[in-house]
Amino acid sequence: MKLKISIAKWNDKNFILNHDEYVAKKTMLEKIKRKEYIIAKVNNKSVGFLRFGYFWSKIPIIEMIRIEENMRKQGIGRKMVKLLKKIAKKQKNKFILSSSTGNEKEPQNWHKKIGFKEIGKINTNYPSKIPEVFFLKEI
């Protein structure tokens, strides 16, 4: 298995468009231009992505990680986070942020397994009444 993790390029847009249903196409295209998608490819085939943004216009925050089901539990997500850490360090950040829905134990356990620490919860009514759990990973 030849794994390549990199910043998404314009020619990755179709894969991202087909797999990131939570963001508008216009926003997705803008984020690709701003280099806010990381793409994972196995043998030159796209198998996952990490979308991120910036909290307070400074601190990288993971907005979404999506990996094709048959490719999970192989370290791909961890390696995408590793590239995000490298980007954050270059920008002189000391940590990155992430979150997951409060009732999803598997993503919460994954965050902890790769070194994130739970730092709090926000209770909202959007999109549901389930709290969002936030995580911090020091670089």
Domain range list for the chain: 3-138
Q: What does the pLDDT look like over 38-77, one tens digit per residue?
A: 999 999 999 999 999 999 999 999 999 999 999 999 999 9
Sheet holding 59-67, edge to edge: 3-7, 37-42, 45-55, 59-67, 95-101, 132-138, 117-122
Bridge partners (DSSP) listed for residue 99: 134
Q: Are 65 and 80 in contact (CB under 8 A)?
A: yes
Q: Are 40 and 3 in contact (CB under 8 A)?
A: yes
Q: Which option is the CATH number for 3-138: 3.30.200.20, 3.40.50.2000, 3.40.630.30, 3.30.470.20?
A: 3.40.630.30
Q: What is the pLDDT of residue 8?
A: 98
- CA 92 to mean position of chain CA atoms: 19
Q: Flag whether the pTM goes above 0.85.
A: yes
Write the DSSP string, 106-123: HHHHHHHHTT-EEEEEE-
Q: What does the pLDDT look like over 86-103, one tens digit per residue?
A: 999 999 999 999 999 999
Q: Count of CB atoms within 10 A of residue 78's CB?
A: 13
d(CA 139, CA 127): 31
